Amino acid sequence: MAFRNLSPSCLAVVQAVRAWLEAACEYPVAPVRIGVSGGVDSMSLAAACAHVKQRSLPEAKAEAMIVDHQLQESSGKVAEYAAQQLRNIGLPARVERVNVVDDGVGMEAAARDARYAALTDHFKGMLLLAHSMDDQAETVLLGLSRGSGTRSMAGMAVESIRGETRVVRPLLGLRAQTLRQAAVDWGIDFWDDPQNAQDRFARVRARKSSLPTLEKDLGPGFTQALARTATMAGRDADYLDAVAERELPNPGDEISVEQLAGLHPAIATRVLRRWLNHLGIEEVGFDHVEAVFRLVSAWKGQRGVDLPGSVRIRRAQGRLQAVR
């Protein structure tokens, strides 16, 4: 693979990752892990990291990890071939095999959970993931279809923390076609996962049908508009969540009705969600939060609200209480 004369697509990917690798090389130098599937996006990301490491940041402690979910007969060969290609261009790479167990969340979600666990467990460093602008637009569109709030509409964050791992998505500003062209220009092979063409997945339907139709009917630039929406929604959600955390810094087993009644509904409902999560109620939807909020905003002596996990929230003596 020749890196001397970068094509526009290769240059765009390199520019997207360079600043993050430079940040990881600030003293003390942090290890960088590139999450790779063997697909076009992650192979382009890894190739760009190899270029930056070789040309300007030899001190970078960068390594690719290819996660083999072992769900398809050829997955092992795909993973090993991807790893060997990356080693050939000077990027250390290893394969991590995981066992995917569906505990009722669906195989797609179970595979994602297993992948993230493999990539982040006991890893104190920066993890680079190859999600593109198209992936972000799909995420926002799916959130809108579920009637989600600003946090879900924010899509995937450019930077977040998972355990001890700093998770970074440097390619959210680039279209998928740019990443594909970069892989072609670099002459690196990639794998097109056949599951990415199966219409039984909502994300695939959004990618193959919904987004192209919206681009055609509403005009080019719709994908970029959804990505911008994610950025703006993310900023709003971060601020509102921070305000809610200040209002309830240390959640307890009860919460004051008077305190909640004095807050704007946008903050009060976030405080309630934070409190319910503290109680161990993770699967809290919009309807659940609204029903609990009505114990504050529309109190008429109604009975409590039943929530997942056999928990009932009731109002008594000026406080909301959880009864198990």
Residue 93 to residue 126: CA distance in whole angstroms: 15
42 known ligand binder: yes
Asked if 41 contacts 179 with a C-beta cutoff of 8 angstroms, the reply is yes
DSSP for 42-77?
HHHHHHHHHHHHHHT-TT--EEEEEEE---STTHHH
217 is in an annotated binding site: no
**Residue with the two structure tokens 């066992």:** 99
Q: Is 40 annotated as a binding residue?
A: yes
Is residue 256 a known part of a binding site? no
Residue type present at position 168: V
Q: Is there a binding annotation on residue 38?
A: yes
Q: Which H or E run includes 170?
A: none
End-to-end CA distance of the chain: 62
- 292 among the known binding-site residues? no
- E strand map for the chain: 32-36, 62-68, 93-97, 126-128, 159-162, 165-168, 254-256, 305-307, 311-316, 319-323
> What is the β-pairing status of strands 165-168 and 62-68?
unpaired
Task: Mark the binding-site residues, compressed into ranges.
Answer: 37-42
Task: Mark the binding-site residues for ATP, compressed into ranges.
Answer: 37-42
